Amino acid sequence: MKIFLDGKFVDAAEARISVFDHGLLYGDGVFEGIRIYQGNIFRLDEHLERLEQSAKAILLSLPWSRAEIAGFTCETCRQNGLADGYIRLVVTRGVGDLGLSPWLCPVPSIFIIASKIALYPAEHYTTGLAIVTVPTRRINPAALPPTVKSLNYLNNIMAKIEARQFGALEAIMLNDQGYVAECTGDNIFIVYKGELITPAASQGALRGITRSAILDIAQELGLPLRQADLTRYDVWNADECFLTGTAAEVIPVVKLDGREIGTGRPGEITARVLASFRRRVLTEGTRI
């Protein structure tokens, strides 16, 4: 496997960053997880726009243009013969001293991995997931905006660990007000009386690229859609539920906290959304 690292391609075994890199020391950096389908990088420009906005939010100056990063990303896929898979694009603050000060890191570092990912076992895409609500709350947006896709994912990791302790593959995280924010790595949608409802980003949810695609699909399919506060009660009593994310794609949820959602099987609207999504991933984006 070839890794793009600071302007050159190196073998995976030779892809190294300094122990003084603030991405490692402090989680100081930003990243994007991106999908490629049959040679089409899905919504690459939207991913790179979000990368730029995350970097701006943490005052990390990117010395590369969007077009240059797009070129790096496409070439990484070509170097690895990857037509279907997952791309991880990471920008760290770079090498500094052992203090927090980011202004002592003069040059950011970039690396890109193009490989495969399987977030959930394949059977759950047809049978649905049983998930739980975990005690760990989503970080308050006033502390760390969820719209910043940073390298600091310990909040999500703690929730993921708790999900496993409860025997689940995924978990809902509530915000400090008790409303549903998102899952450990996915956005969440419910269907109630024919209407799609999803938490607003202001409640602690990442503005997911796949989430954005679902908003477009709802308009295409003529489905009413609303961004609103959701409680666990709302999810328990939904007709359908599904999760969205670059790695997860669109996956149905059939049970939350031991309570069946709807019929306990993936629903018709979820199937329609998934079918439209699978068409879009082949055409929306950048061909390598």
SS3 label, residue 157: helix
Burial (CB < 10 A; 0-12, 13-18, 19+), residue 182, is buried
What's the rounded Cα separation, in Å, for the pair 15 and 4? 8
Catalytic residue among 2, 149, 160, 255: 149
Active site residue 149: yes
What is the separation, in whole angstroms, between the first and last Cα of the chain? 18
Residue type at 215? L
Whether the CB-CB separation of 9 and 72 falls below 8 Å is answered with: no
Looking at residue 203, the DSSP 8-state letter turns out to be G
Query: 1 is written with which tokens?
Result: 């496997």
Bridge-based pairing of strands 249-256 and 29-37 is unpaired
Whether the CB-CB separation of 33 and 46 falls below 8 Å is answered with: no
CB-based contacts of 54-61 (< 8 A; 24+ apart in sequence): 54/30, 54/147, 54/148, 54/149, 54/150, 55/30, 55/91, 57/145, 57/147, 57/148, 58/28, 58/30, 58/148, 58/150, 59/102, 60/28, 60/29, 60/30, 60/91, 60/93, 60/102, 60/108, 61/108
What's the rounded Cα separation, in Å, for the pair 21 and 127? 43
State the catalytic residues: 149
